[in-house]
Each structure stands twice: as structure tokens, then as C-alpha cells.
Amino acid sequence: MDETQPLLADVHLVDTERCDEVSHKDIVDFNVDGDVENPMEWPAAYKWSIVFLLSFMAFTVTFTCISVVPIASQIVSELDNGHVSKSSSVLLVTIWELGEAAGPLLIAPLSEVFGRYPVINGANVLFILATALAAVSQSTPLFIGARALTGLSVASNVLGPAIVGDMFVSEQRGSAISFIALAPLIGGSLGPAIGGAIAETFGWRWVLWLSVCLALACELVFFTCFRETYKVAVLRRRAAKLRKETGNLKLRTAFDMDDRKSGAHKIWECAVRPAIVLSGSSVLQVLSLHGALSFSYYYVFSTTLPEILQDLYSLSPAATGLAFISFSIGSAISVILLNILLDKIYVKLRDQHKGAGAPEYRLPIAIFGAFGLPLMVSAYGWVSQMRLPLPVLLFVVGVLGSALMFVYLPLNAYVVDAFGLYAASGMTAIIVTRCLMSTVLPLATDPLVTRFGWGVGLSVLGGIGLVLTPIPVLVFRYGSRWRQLSKYTKDE
């Protein structure tokens, strides 16, 4: 994909008169001989410091989301004066995903209009305020609403991979994306463990105040140390500076040849872009469906494990939180393997095809995970049904975590490679479908388990995933030709 072309070429067409008015020498771009403002040419140490910062925020976000999982019933009981609703306990956790489905619809487009820096800082501030609101909530509806608002303000999931794409070339992105993905796994393991322990000792509100402190520390670093990475925003700033210094009002970036549209119109076009991209790319549609179902298994697991451990294995909330570490250990192992293999496989396949890289070279590991994940979901149900020893259950949970990462991380890397400059919009489509599925599917788990039991109930959910396993296989085999049918992923 040519990064100098607008994504919606039919909407951003440049008329002939405008092209005549602005000559090639008036187009502002990076210096091909080297440019200190080009994020691709920044020192490796600074690039990786940004990756570390994104990882810190990803850790904080996941910690905030998952720390309430083992104490969800306790929170609902206290806020509802002793009454515990199973659906409210599940919704208290999954409503985060519903908010996160709406947030990227604005976060990603705004980042493509104003740049990554102002958007991610603004989202972080809203995240802090929403988490504080949850900490002081006095009713379940207000708490659930605050959680939805917190999910709405999460920017790291959609902008993290996009920022990596801003700074790293294709063969280096896999390692950076894998590193960012490792942080949520740590947050996912420490969150329930710390949350359960703090809730037992000091009360559940202190769990959220700890999240506020972590997010505030992260935002201070973002505000002072993070630099704009988005090529379009950097060049627009340079063009404005040059117009002021030289008096040449014709100076433009290649992305602003048609600048007669109002700012509100541009924002609207960017806001609807993820939906247009999703509707215009069948490859993205099928991968979004597969990725959404795969990720929703995480919330099926996280909302059922506390009940299984506390009701069937008689563990305390603190011990239940510690049990989540097995999932994170399995996930961390897979992320380490992906960090080693994802770029190596890409380079090897690229070399086998005479140096021609393709996004499909990210998917071999995803194929392996796609077959293993539904089987692990079913095994998780049957181990619980038969009440096998606790170490067996924790082992299955760990393998489930590994399989999930094997599916989802290569999918993210694929989208970043396939959509290039507009990776944020492609990631938004992935995230929105994922969040919607993750909100709805866990609500179906309790009726299935109540009617059929843990074994059959979770096997039904696993069977749905097994039906979709051919998707990454087909995309890997035919995706390079399939992508040519869409103007958003067509090779130039």
C-alpha cells in the first residue's frame, strides 16, 4: 500500500486545478538522505523506550480491567445490599469490552487527523477520571457505567500497534508487538492476585485506587517523554512551520492536496473510515470474525474461573486470583515464542519468494493456535465437570492462554502490515468486533452451563470456534490474491 495515498481515494480525490497550483517542489516530505523527525529513523533505544511505555500502559489497562474479576460478586453484593445477580457480576467485567468497542471508533480516526500524541494523552486522562468514578461508586449501575466509560477511553489497544507501525519496518514489527502484548499478560496475572488480596484486607475500592495511581504515573511519562510518531501529523507540522518561515503558502504535504474541507468534515470521514474499511475488505471481515470469537474465550474463562475455583474447589478470592497466574504463564510462554519466531518466519517466507514480503507470512503460527484454542476451551469445561485435580485444571488454563496468543498476536501483526499508514483504522475494526463478541458471548455461558453442565456447555462454545478454524488457513493460502479485491489492501 502506497503510504502517500489517502485511504479513501474516491473521497479524497485531488482535482487537476489544484495539482497545477501546487508543484512537486511545494510538497513537504521527509528528507530521503536522512531526517531526524522521521520516526522510522529515530534511534533504536528511543523507539524501544516508547514500546516500553506502551507496554506500561497496556499493563495498567489490563490490571484495571481484570483485578475486579475474582471479587465481582463481592462488589455487586456490597453495592446491592447483599443481593448477588450472576448477570450483573458477568456484566461488571464484560461491560468494559462494550465501552472499548465504541472508543476506537473515535480514538483511531482522531489520531489520523490530529496525531497520536494529543489523542493518547487525552484518552489517558479520561481513563484516570473514569477509574476514579468507579472507585467512589455507590450503586451497581453507576459502577457498570464507570467501567464502560473506562473501556471507552482505552487507547493503547488500538494505537499501540499503529505506533509500532509508525516507527518500525515490517520485519521488525513482530518483536515490538509481541513485547507490548507481554505486558497485559503480566497485568492479567497480577491483577486478580493483587485485587483478591487487597479486597480481603482493605476492601475492593482500594484495588481501583491503585489502578488510578498506576495510570496517573503512566500519563505523566506520556505527557513529558512521548513524541508524535504519526507521519502525517509530523509533516503537517513541518509544512505549517515552513509556510510561516518562507511565506510560501503553497507548501503542503501529500495528504493535504485537497484542504478545502472543514475540520469537522475530515473528522467525520475519519470516524466512519473503520466501518468503510471493514465493509470494503472481505479479508478483514473474516479475520475480524475469527479474532473476535477467539478473544471472547478469554472472557468466558475469566468470568467462569472464579465460580469454578470457589464453588467446586473451595478456594478463597485471594487464592482464586493467584490461580489466574497459570493463564498468564501460558500466555507469556507463547509471547516469548512469538517474539522469537514471528519475524523469523516472515523473513524466511519473504526470502523464499525472492524478497517479496506479504502480510500473510504472519499467519502460520495463527493456524496452529486456531486449531488448539477451541479444543482447550472444551477441555477446560470437561476438567471442571469431572472435578479433576486442581493442577490439571491450571495446566489446561495455561495451555488455553498460549493458544489464544498464538491466534491473536499474528492477527494484529497481519493488520498492521496489510493496512500500513492506516493501521489504526484496521485495528479499530478488529477491536470493535472483538469487544462486541466479548460482551455478548460470556452472557450465554451461564445458560449453557446451567442446562448442559460445564463439559457440554463449554464444548458448544468450543465447537463454534472449531467451525471457524479454516479462516486463517484460507487467508494464508489465498490472502495475497484475496487482498487485491479491496482498494484498502491492494498491493501497489
CB 430 within 8 A of CB 415: yes
What proportions of the chain, in percent to the nearest 5, are helix, strand and coil? 80, 0, 20
Q: How far is CA 161 from the centre of its chain?
A: 8
Pick the more confident residue, 190 or 334: 334
pLDDT in tens, 105-126: 778 778 877 889 999 999 999 9
DSSP bridge pairs for 252: 27
Task: Give the number of C-alpha atoms closer than 13 A to the C-alpha of residue 465, restricted to the C-beta side.
Answer: 30
Question: What pLDDT score was predicted for residue 12?
Answer: 39
Q: Euclidean distance between the first and final Cα of the chain, in Å? A: 6
All domains of the chain, ordered by start, with CATH? 16-485 (1.20.1250.20)
Res 204 pLDDT > 60: yes
Residue 451 exposed, middle or buried by CB count within 10 Å (0-12, 13-18, 19+): exposed
Rounded CA-CA distance 218/155 in Å is 13
Q: Give the type of residue at 430.
A: I
Return the SS3 of 22. coil
Res 265 pLDDT > 60: yes
Question: What pLDDT score was predicted for residue 18?
Answer: 46
Percent of the chain clearing pLDDT 90 (strictly above): 25
Return the SS3 of 31. coil
Return the SS3 of 28. strand
pLDDT in tens, 332-385: 888 888 888 888 888 888 888 878 878 888 889 999 999 999 999 999 999 999
Phi and psi angles of residue 378, each rounded to the nearest 5 degrees, phi first: -65, -40
- Label residues 377-393 b or e (16+ Cβ within 10 Å = b): bbbbbbbbbeeeebeeb
Question: What pLDDT score was predicted for residue 257?
Answer: 63
pLDDT in tens, 133-159: 999 988 888 988 898 888 888 887 778
Rounded CA-CA distance 417/156 in Å is 18
pLDDT, average across residues 13-42? 67
